[in-house]
Amino acid sequence: MLFHVRMNVNLPAAMPADQATQLKADEKALAQRLQDQGKWRHLWRIAGQYANISVFDVDSVDELHALLTSLPLFPYMQVDVMPLCRHPSSIRDNDS
């Protein structure tokens, strides 16, 4: 199942810099591991924002929820999820 996920991050201004740095490093490590596993298929930064657009490929909504809530930055995110399915007018028969 493919999902389009927008994540907006809003770290508190009062968060100590070393804590923010560690959260970002932990987030990057997990994001890269999920990409290696094929679960986090695409990751795109939204220019000028602390936000991204991602495509996840998971077996269920429950799996997506578990992955998103496991992200170190999740407590500081606004997350919008849209399930995706193939459009009948697409000229491609795969997800490339």
Domains of the chain: 2-84 (3.30.70.1060)
- Give strand ranges (E) for the chain: 2-9, 40-45, 51-57, 77-84
Residue 86 has a pLDDT of: 86
Q: If DSSP codes are grouped into helix, strand and coil, which group holds residue 80?
A: strand
56 strand-pairing partners:
3, 40
For residue 3, give both structure tokens.
């999902």
CA-based angle 32:67:19, to the nearest 5?
65
Residues of the chain under the 70 pLDDT cut: 95-96
Find the DSSP H helices in 10-77.
17-36, 61-70
pLDDT digits (tens, 9 = 90+) for 58-68: 999 999 999 99
Q: What is the pLDDT of residue 94?
A: 75
